[in-house]
Structure 1
Amino acid sequence: MSGSLEEYFKDHVTLPEKGQEAFSDTERAFLARYMGEDFEAALSRQGLDRPARVETVAGALSPGPGGETGPAPEAAASAEDTDAALEAGLRQAETLKLVGFRLAGQELAVPIAQVQEVLRAMPVTRLPAAPPQILGILNLRGRVVPMVDLAAITELSGPRGENRFIIVCRCRGMLVGLMVEALSTMHQARGEDIEWGVEARLGVSSDLVSGLLKVGEGLVAILSVDSLFQKVLKS
């Protein structure tokens, strides 16, 4: 396990280029569901057609499919297969880098291969028609990103703190922001230290956990970004 995330980020901060010029099919379906078919006009009325001013803690942590910092519109059709293959490949890796964070008294992590960047928390635009697990949306360099109340959607029951960071993940031709309380560490994990295909042991919904990382005497739940995203879309 390496040092603090801040130390790691000093050598890995390269902001992504401006967002794509057209919405992916997944983005269009999401926006139409919660803002109506005329969602582009609704975005304009709420000022969401302009990128928000964000404070990046870390950008471009890992390349997206094909080496991009974000999936291109033409790649959206194969995004489901790409993400499924990526998660399957993670289970075969000899080493794995994970972004560790704390939430509701739990230590959790997501694979860095699925993380676009990390932002400091900021106000977002709420969607009246969305379920409470979706706190709102943000225009991140031209990409419309839903912000997820991760503690709520994973059904964590521990004491809640203030959400101070947003971990932006790529999945299925779309970005999703995971609201977390604190960043912890960058895990450089050996494959042999990860137990895959297990039921959750840390109070997290078992369908959202892809594995458990042994850290000292404790366990860190590794979230399945793909399963989480599917749950968001079905909310």
Structure 2
Amino acid sequence: MSPSLEQYFKESVPLPETRSGAFTEAERAFLSRYVGEDYEVVLARQGLTRPSAVTSVTGPLAGAEAAGPPGASGGAGLDEDAALEQALREAGEFKLVGFRLAGQELSVPIAQVQEVLRALPATRLPAAPAHVRGMLNLRGRIVPMIDLAGVMDFSAARGEDRFIVVCRCRGLLLGLPVEALTTMHQAKAQDVEWGLEARAGVASDLVSGLLKVGDALVAILSVDSLFQKVLKS
């Protein structure tokens, strides 16, 4: 992990987010689709009603830094989540969490990152498609674990998953196992190209833009598109 990213995480000390109340609409939709209408019984049988033993690298990323550019929100509001990409396009500057997966350099807006965990096994869901590797219970929140390399058709060999980047979108948390964290990108508007996904060499429907870092291009993941794919696949 780069010193700049590590230092950023060390200075982030918000309180943990815990489950309060019923499942969100998005969580119920996911559970009904991939666990079954009797998901509460299945979750109890598989031990998923108990929080998983996780080690957080960052602590939950809440507060001003995670709030994103003006007009965006890191909260659970559906309107804010849907408008985040447009807000990023209009922002002069914003932060991206960079990571490496199957030989690719990717990033995700910090406004959508709940926290980063040390990698750990997930509970398999037999009815889920191959790109849903399982599920965690993160302090009462369900977290589907997504095989991002599989979804994006990366052909390079995979390394060991060492971290899980937990993203939030539309009332659902998505866990992205990655091989390494790279850096905290301070993205400036003039260095970002939107709508040129094909140049990244990855699945265009899951990439919202490209960040120029020297001579390299770093794909910016569209968490909203990934959310849609998970619930509609």
State the TM-score, normalized to the length of structure 1. 0.91
Verify the 8 A CA contact 2:14 2:62 in the aligned structure 1: no
CA distance, structure 2, for counterparts of residue 39 and residue 201 of structure 1:
41
Query: Residue 203 of structure 1: CA displacement?
Result: 2.1
Aligned residues: 227
The aligned amino acid for 2:105 is E
SS of the aligned residue for 2:226 comes to helix
Query: Residue 21 of structure 1: CA displacement?
Result: 2.1
Residue deviations 1:15-71, cap 9 Å, x none?
423223210111011101111111011111111111111000012324478999753
Give structure 1 stretches of 5+ with no counterpart.
Answer: none
SS of the aligned residue for 1:55 comes to coil
Bigger Cα displacement from structure 2, 5-14 vs 117-126: 5-14
The aligned amino acid for 2:106 is L
Verify the 8 A CA contact 1:125 1:137 in the aligned structure 2: yes
The aligned amino acid for 2:52 is A
Where does residue 44 of structure 1 map in the other structure?
44
Query: Residue 150 of structure 1: CA displacement?
Result: 0.8
Where does residue 129 of structure 1 map in the other structure?
127
- Identity among equivalent positions (%) equals 67
Please give the residue correspondences for 1:124-203 in structure 2 after superposition, counting only pairs within 5 Å.
Answer: 124-203=122-201
CA distance, structure 2, for counterparts of residue 92 and residue 62 of structure 1:
22
Query: Residue 5 of structure 1: CA displacement?
Result: 1.5
Quick one: structure 1 residues 55 and 83, their matched pair in 2 at CA, closer, same or farther if it must change by over 3 Å? Answer: same
Verify the 8 A CA contact 1:163 1:180 in the aligned structure 2: yes
Residue deviations 1:165-198, cap 9 Å, x none?
1111111111111111110000011111101111
Verify the 8 A CA contact 1:157 1:203 in the aligned structure 2: no
Residue deviations 1:71-98, cap 9 Å, x none?
3xxx5xxx1x321211110111111100
The aligned amino acid for 2:109 is P
Query: Residue 145 of structure 1: CA displacement?
Result: 0.7
Please give the residue correspondences for 1:82-97 in structure 2 after superposition, counting only pairs within 5 Å.
Answer: 82-97=80-95
CA distance, structure 1, for counterparts of residue 23 and residue 4 of structure 2:
35
Instruction: Give the RMSD, CA atoms, in angstroms.
Output: 2.0
Verify the 8 A CA contact 1:21 1:142 in the aligned structure 2: no
CA distance, structure 2, for counterparts of residue 118 and residue 140 of structure 1:
12
CA distance, structure 1, for counterparts of residue 73 and residue 139 of structure 2:
15
Quick one: structure 1 residues 108 and 97, their matched pair in 2 at CA, closer, same or farther if it must change by over 3 Å? Answer: same
Verify the 8 A CA contact 1:101 1:180 in the aligned structure 2: yes
State the TM-score, normalized to the length of structure 2. 0.92
The aligned amino acid for 1:177 is G
CA distance, structure 2, for counterparts of residue 205 and residue 154 of structure 1:
5
Quick one: structure 1 residues 124 and 15, their matched pair in 2 at CA, closer, same or farther if it must change by over 3 Å? Answer: farther
Query: Residue 202 of structure 1: CA displacement?
Result: 2.6
The aligned amino acid for 1:167 is V
CA distance, structure 1, for counterparts of residue 73 and residue 39 of structure 2:
27
Where does residue 7 of structure 2 map in the other structure?
7
Residue 54 of structure 2 corresponds to residue 54 of structure 1: yes
Verify the 8 A CA contact 2:74 2:112 in the aligned structure 1: no
